[in-house]
Structure 1
């Protein structure tokens, strides 16, 4: 039953990713919306859920918040390492791709998209574990997962495409993100994952998303185009996640 229900999450994730691919002429609006969705997922979903999962407080600090800081710092370190690498390349010769564009490789975006895939796996795991508690609980959790999987697919494609001309990694990661809830649901019917592990992981993932949104996606969205409409789409993304979370509860 859990695996069957997770097929809806598969379809919703694909729809979100395809929507992000189709909107090309208004890329700044897509990025603004994605930034708002990510901020909303962090503030209204991941952080509250992670804090509810575990009360463990190493050194007096909630474990999920330590994971949050570690995730933020992790993506910052990755981005700075790539920046140092590009700076050293420029000391020897211009690094220009075959089509004449000097694009960044976008590893931070790929890392964040990979984290979204891992998050979708946890979503599927949550469905499987919830069905162990009863059909009604399982359906409620599945509804909450499906409701925000559109944003997951949308954000996966947006993150994986950031500063990249090649969309193949984005397509592969979208397929992985769509399939992850099914795999997680199947695993969740067989295994038990302690909340003490899931809580810090969700905090880590929230830190990764916040860094990508604040340091990569939103600055890119506002770099060229008029900012009023972009700000409106960011606000729309935040409001959409708040509405979805409200429905789920």
Structure 2
């Protein structure tokens, strides 16, 4: 049953990526929605799950929150280092690739998309474990994973393209993200992932996503189109994830 649900998540991820592709003429709305979806995923889904799974404290602070802050800082440091390196090699001068995308470094987009793939893999593992537990747990997690993976596909494609990567690479990352829940669900027949390491990963990944949403995607969405419609897309993205989380509970 877990694999059947994972196949549904595969299709929903592709649907999210397809949607992101088709609305390029409304790029500011796409980015506004993506920022809201990412903010909702981090604050309403990832962080609570991470705090629950990795509940122990380190020097008075929950481990998940420490790794959340670490993820934010690592994303910031990596992006700055890559940007400095690109500038040193003349990558952001003239009409070059970096200039067309505001000095953004394609590797950052690929790294973020790879993190999304890792998150989808964890979704698949959670799905497989939930069906092993039995009862209503499997149904609840299945609903959350399937609906949540639409946002994952949307964000994976948007992030990859936002940082100047070719459409081919964005599609490769999208297909990898779509396949990840299937692989994760299948893997639970071979091993069980301990709860605390999973929570630690989710905390770190949440920090990375928050940085990308707050420092990159939302400012870009409002840079040339500071419209109310863009803001409403962001609010709608958060509300959509809230709805998904509420239905899953």
Question: What is the TM-score of this pair, normalised by structure 2?
Answer: 0.93
d(CA) in 2 for partners of 1:81, 1:17: 29
Instruction: Please state whether the residue corresponding to 1:141 is helix, strand or coil.
Output: helix
Q: 1:65 and 2:65 equivalent?
A: yes
Alignment of 1:118-137 (within 5 A): 118-134=118-134, 136-137=136-137
Shift of 1:143: 1.5
Instruction: Tell whether 2:16 aligns with 1:16.
Output: yes
Change (3 A) 1:124 1:26: same
- What are the Cα deviations for residues 38-82 of structure 1, in whole angstroms up to 9, with x where unaligned? 000011000011111122111111111111011111110111012
- Once the two structures are TM-superposed, the CA of residue 101 in structure 1 deviates from its matched residue by 4.5
Q: TM-score, normalised by structure 1?
A: 0.93
SS in 1 for 2:105: coil
Distance in 2 between residues matched to 1:21 and 1:14, nearest whole Å: 11
Bigger shift: 163-172 or 125-134? 163-172
Unaligned runs of 5+ in 1: none
The alignment status of 1:206 with 2:217, answered yes or no, reads no
Distance 1:28 1:93 in 2: 23
* RMSD (CA atoms): 1.9
Report the number of matched residues. Answer: 247
Q: Which residue of 2 aligns with 1:140?
A: 140
Deviation at 1:193, TM superposition (A): 0.9
Matched, 1:230 2:230: yes
- 1:170 positional shift: 0.9
Counterpart-to-counterpart distance in 1, 2:135 and 2:6: 13
